[in-house]
Amino acid sequence: MKPTEAAVLGALSGVRDPELDEPITDLQFVSELRIEEDAVDVRLRLPTPLCAPNFAYLMVADTREAVLSVPGVREARISLDGHYASEEINAGMADGRGFEGTFPGETEGESLDELRTIFRRKSFVSRQEKLCRALLAEGRSSEELAEMRLEEVPESGEFEKYLQRRAELGLDISPEAPLVVDPNGNRVPKDAVVQHLRFARTVRVSIEGNAGFCRGLLATRYGMPKEEEIRS
Amino acid sequence: MYEKDGEKYFVVDGHLHFWDGSPENQKNIHGKQFIDCFYGYHSALSPEEYLWPQEKFEKYSEEDMMHDLFEIGYVDVGIFQPTYLTDFYINGFNTTEQDAVLKEKYPDKFILNGSFDPRNGENGLVEFENLVNKYDLKGVKLYTAEWHGDSKGWSLKDDWAKRYLEKCQELEVKNIHVHKGPTITPLNRDAFDVKDVDDAATEFSELNFIVEHVGLPRLDDFCWIAVQEANVYGGLAVAMPFIYSRPRYFAQIIGELLYWLDEDRLLFSSDYAIWHPKWIVEMFADFQIPEDMQSEYGTLTPDIKRKILGLNAARLYGIEVPDEIPQPEAVGPAGEPTYPEQPLR
């Protein structure tokens, strides 16, 4: 069975920029997709040639894994264009050398998994803030949020995204688990919830702003129309 | 100086370059990519009428710079921040010596900052002391992401970095500007991690640490550090130009910063020639937090704008401010929030 474009795009939309917490398809990082029988070619591009090579590598690796997960795909050829380390990353990926094997002597200390975890935790905090923000806007108080259990949270897209990230971090997502927890899963004390969400907002603003900046740079680099805010 | 609606603003541009990114000076492909990257920033965030052709952007003249900053850009005093990048550029990208030519010609217009690289060890320490004495430096710009031989960057926590910071303290080089990014190796690390600034600011409490581009894209990490350390400041390079294309996002950044820090610890910068100070100063003087965000972020008063546009930097560098400019008192640091005890990450 030949894989369909829709199926491959669906898989690609599950790949997120680890730093920006948005799908690479929404960010327009996928510049080309070709399907020939059971082989899929995907070309990726980034906002600048100097984008962090670690994040670049993670996205290429995640893209490959996502494409290979589509039924009927036997071969996935992923290439990153226009990056200062394009050649190394593409060759390393083709030979299955892993990140450290791709850049011998240029890594030390933390592994890429740890880096990924740092940003998953940030995005967890950001998603929690978005969800709580929506709940507060619906009239709940921060005291109520402090007491709330997951089973008491109404269904919503924000809630689903929050749970997904919470599960990825290995935190408790059982119905009776508290809603507001820190990235280690500890319940945030009632008298600290306001300050917790206040700081969480800064995390969200930072991630969202960065995503906006990267979109602008990509649009400029590849001559795409820029999305601008409506100026008041 | 800039005057609008009866308000006068003394303008100190906290981050200027006089660079040579031309192909003739590029040592390798990284040199080309670096200036291309800057040009991307310039093109993405500047109003159309301020866009330069790439060739001019790669190398602009003294006349361009003097005209843009002081004739039309409202800048009273500008601070040169060198970016050596000698592994990317034959004569360096923007060295203290290059900047010194203009400083010597226009001594009242510029403040000259130097730099050090702790990887140069003992010899570098002597050279640094000579540089400070030669130019009477009051500040340095540090670029921890800079490549150097086999090394792909360094940390303020390194033993040698501490030796250099001790030297700064001894020589009264008080203002330590720290630039994170744009990309760093060891490749697996987070390029923009500002943790090391926290340690250095605690250990060297007499020095001021100005984190350039307020730690963006890690605004949250920067804010957390600045809450803990009263001697940490935010340089607004890169953040300011959002005021044009993304004013609501700009309002959020400024709002977050004013909440966690205080109005006395933020410094305006254009990052010239990446952006032109004229439009940024004009738009900032006119700027207000959008109404629907004011319940969260409050509003910007002319005094807050005056501090950010010039008074805060003037205080750090001992720049004399004309009497006609109102000089509001410092508000003092905000109370220390008790939560979070650790950054949420």
Mean pLDDT score of chain B: 92
Exposure class string for B37-46: b at 16+ Cβ within 10 A, else e = bbbbbbbbbb
Contact A199 B253 (CB under 8 A): no
* B188, B246, B256: residue with CB nearest A107: B188
Write the CATH number for B123: 3.20.20.140
Rounded-to-5 percentages of helix, strand, coil across chain B: 45, 15, 40
Beta bridge partner(s), residue B177: B141, B210
Per the CB < 8 Å rule, is A206 touching B242? no
> What global pTM score does this model have?
0.92
Residue A186 lies in a domain: yes
**Is there a single domain that holds both residue A119 and residue A47?**
no
pLDDT in tens, A82-110: 998 899 999 998 888 888 888 877 776 66
In whole numbers, what is the pLDDT of chain A averaged over residues? 92
Provide the residue range defining the domain that includes B30.
10-317
The verdict on A197 touching B (C-beta cutoff 8 Å) is no
Q: What is the pLDDT of residue B216?
A: 87
User: Do A85 and A141 belong to one domain?
Assistant: no
Judge if the upstream peptide bond of residue B333 is cis by omega within 30 degrees of 0.
Answer: no
Query: What band does B184 get if pLDDT is binned at 50, 70 and 90?
Result: very low
- Percent of chain A surpassing pLDDT 70: 95
Let me know if residue B340 belongs to a domain: no
Kindly state whether residues A46 and A90 are assigned to the same domain: yes
Tell me the per-residue pLDDT of A139-155, one tens digit each, with 9 for 90 and over.
999 999 999 999 999 99
Indicate the DSSP class of residue A47.
Answer: S
Range of the domain at A60: 5-102
Comparison of pLDDT for B201 and A104, the residue scoring more: B201
Which residues on B lie below 8 Å from A123 (Cβ)?
A: none
pLDDT of residue B148: 77
Same domain, A14 and A57: yes
Instruction: Give the CA distances from residue B247 to residues A194, B224, B253, B280, B289, in Å, rounded to whole numbers and listed in that order.
Output: 26, 24, 10, 12, 9
Domain end (from A56, A83, A102): A102
The distance of B64 to chain A (nearest Cα, Å) reads: 24
* pLDDT single digits (tens) B6-20: 999 999 999 999 999
pLDDT at B196 over 60: yes
Whether B269 maps to a domain, the answer reads yes
Chain segment B30-83, per-residue pLDDT in tens? 899 889 989 999 999 999 999 999 999 999 999 999 999 999 999 999 999 998
Residues on chain A touching B249 (C-beta within 8 angstroms) = 205, 208-209, 212, 229
Q: Please answer yes or no on whether A226 and B45 come within 8 Å at the CB atom.
A: no
**Looking at residue B147, what is its pLDDT?**
73
Under an 8 A CB cutoff, do A107 and B43 touch? no
Higher model confidence: residue A136 or residue A95?
A136
Report pLDDT for B190: 62
- CB proximity under 8 Å: A 38-67 to B: 47-54, 57
**Residue B188 clears pLDDT 60, i.e. is over it:** no
- Give the gap in angstroms from C-alpha B151 to the nearest C-alpha of chain A: 9
Q: Which of B45, B150, B223 sits opposite A202 (nearest CB)?
A: B223
CATH of the domain at A13: 3.30.300.130
Partner residue opposite A106 with nearest CB, options B34, B40, B152: B152
- Is the pLDDT at B290 greater than 90, yes or no? yes
**Among B220, B245, B339, whose Cβ lies nearest the Cβ of A206?**
B220
Shared domain check, A152 and A59 = no
Phi, psi (5° rounding) for residue A49?
-70, -15
Task: Write the residue in A47, A200, A205 that is nearest to B253 by C-beta.
Answer: A205
ipTM: 0.90
Report which listed range, A112-126, B7-21, B138-152, is most confident.
Answer: B7-21
DSSP string across B83-112: B--TTTBTT-SB-HHHHHHHHHHSTTTEEE
Does the structure show a pLDDT above 70 at B333?
no
Is B326 inside a domain boundary? no
Across the range B274-297, mean pLDDT stands at: 97
pLDDT tens-digit series, residues A13-57: 999 999 999 999 999 999 999 999 999 999 999 998 888 888 999
Of residues B96 and B147, more confidently modeled: B96
Residue A75 · residue A35 · CB < 8 Å: no
For residues A199 and B259, the answer to whether their CB atoms sit within 8 Å is no
Give me the pLDDT at residue B124, please. 96
B335 occurs within a structural domain: no
CA distance A120 to chain B (A): 8
Of A52, A106, A183, the CB nearest to B344: A183
Mean pLDDT value of segment B144-149 = 77
Q: What is the pLDDT of residue B186?
A: 41
CA distance A38 to chain B (A): 33
CB within 8 Å: A108 and B186: yes
Number of domains in chain A: 2
Which positions in chain A touch B245 (Cβ < 8 Å)?
Answer: 216, 226, 228-229
**B333 part of a folded domain:** no
The angle at the Cα of B123, spanning B122 to B127, to the nearest 5 degrees, equals 120
- What average pLDDT does the segment A186-204 reach? 94
A143 occurs within a structural domain: yes
Task: At B211, list the tokens.
Answer: 């984190």
Instruction: Provide, as residue numbers in chain B, all residues whose Cβ is less than 8 Å from the Cβ of A232.
Output: 247, 290
- Quick one: pLDDT at residue A232? 34
Inform me whether the pLDDT recorded for B329 exceeds 90: no
